[in-house]
Amino acid sequence: MQHDIQPKYGPMTAKCSCGNVIETRSTMAKEISLDVCSQCHPFYTGKQKVVDSGGRIDRFKKRFGSRSK
């Protein structure tokens, strides 16, 4: 059996742009930076918006309406 072929697994820090710091373990670098995390992502914070670009939903409803058969 070969020894010492696995990458080193150690502690790392992930820092988000909102200031949240996540301590974990990984084979990656000691520190990485994140754009979003669970503390600032709109899905997790409840500030999620439905984006209707150019009234596409209204046009769809106008064309097809509620075609329930």
Per-residue pLDDT tens digits of the chain, which is 69 residues long: 688 888 889 999 999 988 999 999 999 888 999 888 888 887 777 777 766 667 777 888 888 886 665
* Whether 39 contacts 22, CB under 8 Å: no
* Whether 35 contacts 17, CB under 8 Å: yes
Q: What is the CATH number of domain 1-47?
A: 4.10.80.400
Alpha helices, H only, 1-64: 42-45, 56-64
Which of 23, 16, 24 lies closest to 45 in space, CA to CA? 16
pTM for the full predicted model: 0.53
* Whether 22 contacts 38, CB under 8 Å: no
